[in-house]
Amino acid sequence: MNTRHALLASLTLATLAAPALAQDTGTLKKVKDNGSITLGIRESSDPLSYLDDKQQPVGYHIDICNRIVDAVKAKLKLPALKVAHQPVTSQNRIPLVGNGTVDLECGSTTNNEARQKQVAFAPTTFVTNVRMAVKKSSGITSLGQLGGKPVATTTGTTSVQLMRAHEKGKGIDFKEVYGKDHADSFLMLETDRAVAFVMDDNLLAGRIASAKSPADYAVVGEVLSIEPIAIMFRRDDPEFKKLVDETVTGMMKSGEVEKLYARWFMSPIPPKNVNLNFPMSEALKKLIKAPSDAPAESFNKK
């Protein structure tokens, strides 16, 4: 065989081997080899993903992730597959998915174009508006009232950038203070180290519901961004994405997602049995009828 034919043969073999190689290094093979799957969970992203009074992960996205795990068990014929839980933060969630520590991130992550370059997302299962929580006694109702005041947000989130990009936030000289997680950020508001906590409105509602005096707080101000929230996993793994997408889409078609939403957003939830009374948005109703993993930028076109 001459050099040219040898080269062509090598390229042909490499091409044929590429799909097998991709499959061999995918999430499903990793899970099968390890006999376990790892879910990334948030400890204070109520009611999407948080810890109950027994320090167990619960929430709307935990339930959806558990259904995906059931699909993985069926696909791999591993009914005894172990499920591990790895706490993640806004700061480390993407690296832990990217490096294989976490197989499914079941938290409160916004799907945007920048993140899609690093990770993949399931079809959107929640849509939120970024606003701010304040103490009612402060009288604050708008971004324009934050000049010279400390404003809390959570490390690794996009809230501050959204504030500065907003028309009414431009030129406002506020001081940024960062919590390590949403509970820590809300504590800054609770203890008057910040006058506002900027975050997804559902997470703000969850934190307020868990506060010592929920009636003291309100979610106010301009909508800084409309954010599609979705379960996250590694990129470039078409076999796993297909399984995830089919599972979530199937739950939407069957009505299961709507039932889970009613359970976590419109009913008393642990640990204090508080009802968030947070009706489903029109945007999410549309996405349940026509599932999509489109990024936040497509929701915020002017």
Residue 166 is classified by DSSP as S
- pLDDT above 80 (res 19): no
Q: What is the mean pLDDT of residues 111-136?
A: 96
pLDDT at 148 > cutoff 90 = yes
| pLDDT average, residue stretch 179-184 | 94
Mean pLDDT of 73-78: 98
Sheet with strand 126-135: strands edge to edge: 175-179, 150-154, 196-200, 126-135, 217-229
Most confidently predicted of 8-12, 231-235, 298-302: 231-235
Query: Which pLDDT score, from 0 to 100, does residue 4 have?
Result: 41
pLDDT at 180 over 80: yes
Percent of the chain with pLDDT over 90: 80
CATH number assigned to the domain covering 128-226? 3.40.190.10
In the chain, where the domains are located: 20-125+230-297, 128-226
- CA-to-CA distance for 200 and 108, rounded, in angstroms? 9
- Strand 119-121: give its sheet, edge to edge: 82-87, 36-41, 104-106, 232-234, 119-121
User: Residue 302 — very low, low, confident or very high, per pLDDT cuts 50/70/90?
Assistant: low
> Is residue 135 predicted with pLDDT exceeding 90?
yes
Domain 20-125+230-297 annotated CATH 3.40.190.10: yes
Q: Write out pLDDT tens, residues 27-75.
A: 999 999 999 999 999 999 999 999 999 999 999 999 999 999 999 999 9
Amino acid in position 46: D
User: pLDDT > 70: what percent of the chain?
Assistant: 91
* pLDDT for residue 9: 42
Could you give the CA distance from residue 96 to residue 114 in angstroms, rounded to a whole number?
A: 17
Cα-Cα-Cα-Cα torsion 248, 26, 91, 42, nearest 10 degrees, comes to 40
pLDDT in tens, 205-243: 999 988 999 999 999 999 998 999 999 999 999 999 999
User: Which of 149, 132, 124 is closest to 199 using CA atoms?
Assistant: 132
Least Cα distance to 284 among 121, 64, 126 occurs for 126
- Indicate if the pLDDT at residue 16 is higher than 70: no
pLDDT for the residue 168: 67
Q: Report CA 161 to chain centroid distance, whole Å.
A: 18
Regarding beta strands 104-106 and 36-41, do their DSSP bridges make them parallel or antiparallel, or are they unpaired?
Answer: parallel
pLDDT of residue 24: 53
Whether 182 has a pLDDT exceeding 70, the answer reads: yes
Predicted confidence band at 167 (pLDDT cuts at 50, 70, 90)?
low
Instruction: Tell whether the model's pLDDT for residue 142 goes beyond 60.
Output: yes
User: What is the average per-residue pLDDT within 164-169?
Assistant: 73
**Measured between alpha carbons, how far is 133 from 199 in angstroms, rounded to an integer?**
8
CA dist., res. 280 & res. 70, Å (int): 26
* Residue 17 clears pLDDT 80, i.e. is over it: no
Same topology between domain 20-125+230-297 and domain 128-226: yes
Asked if residue 151 lies in contact with residue 220, where contact means CB atoms within 8 angstroms, the answer is no
Q: Taking residues 179-205, what's their average pLDDT?
A: 95
Position 138 pLDDT exceeds 70: yes
Residue 196 pLDDT more than 90? yes
